[in-house]
Amino acid sequence: MAAGQKSNDLVYAQAKKALDQMKYEISKELNIDTSPIQGDYWGYMTARDCGAVGGNMVKRMIEAAEQTLSQQAVQNVQAGFRAGLQQQAQNQGNNTNQNLSLNNLNQYY
């Protein structure tokens, strides 16, 4: 291996099975013939087909990461809202407006 090149080792070896399954699912959805695959070797496939499968895998992984990040952001906003309500309750001597809660927030917005 030349200087500066990195090996293609998986960071999480447990993910290999899931990634392999994802490859085959995507190739089936794209109607790509997987008969030339021998064992785990995709070298007899065309570069176009392998690129299409790999590109769609990356696309799905990015979508999953974005969804996870957005869910975390929502949870942080809800936690901040709750903390603000608690602080408001403490500042007002527990005379909070009963209409302010996460359960009936949808009524206002």
pLDDT number for residue 35: 86
- Helices 16-29 and 47-91 cross at an angle (nearest 10°) of 120
- pTM flag (> 0.85): no
| pLDDT averages per 10-residue partition of the chain, 109 residues | 68 86 92 87 89 94 93 89 84 60 58
Residue 103 structure tokens: 């359960």
pLDDT number for residue 94: 54
